[in-house]
Amino acid sequence: MLLRALLPLLLAVLCVGIVHHRGPRDPAGSANAGACPAEARRVGRVDPYGYRRELCERETPDGRRVAEGPWTSWHPSGAPSAHGEMRDGRQVGVWTFWNESGEAIESIEFRDGVPVSRPGPDR
């Protein structure tokens, strides 16, 4: 079940050929309402499996693009899939994961991209 919840995040990291656009926010209202840091811009992506994500992205001095700030993904059905913060392209803080029915199934705390605790969906 955890693998299914993390699949959108894994696909975002591993998938080549992601469609990159600067489209409008989710018309139903974005769970990713946090502002991007000053050096980052908000982008949207859709992978080949239909998972959508909205994130903040900045360019590093060597030209790489890394996630920086709030990050949200949605299942192909439109239900939220994952939400959390990224710093230097790594997960930080508490991330919440939902199933395709929109029920929170797990919360995981990350430090520098490494899971350190699982406080539960009600934290």
Query: Tens digits of per-residue pLDDT, 15-56?
Result: 323 333 333 333 334 444 579 999 999 999 999 999 999 999
Domain annotation covers residue 16? yes
Domain annotation covers residue 102? yes
pLDDT tens column, 94-107: 999 999 999 999 99
Counting the structural domains of the chain, the total is: 1
Residue 73 burial class via C-beta count within 10 angstroms: exposed 0-12, middle 13-18, buried 19 and up: buried
HSE-CB of 96 using CA atoms within 13 angstroms:
15
Domain annotation covers residue 122? no
User: Which residues span the domain enclosing 27?
Assistant: 2-117
pTM over 0.75: no
Domain annotation covers residue 91? yes
Question: Looking at residue 15, what is its pLDDT?
Answer: 36
Domain annotation covers residue 123? no
- Selection from 95, 88, 93, 111 nearest residue 39 by Cα: 88
Question: Looking at residue 89, what is its pLDDT?
Answer: 96
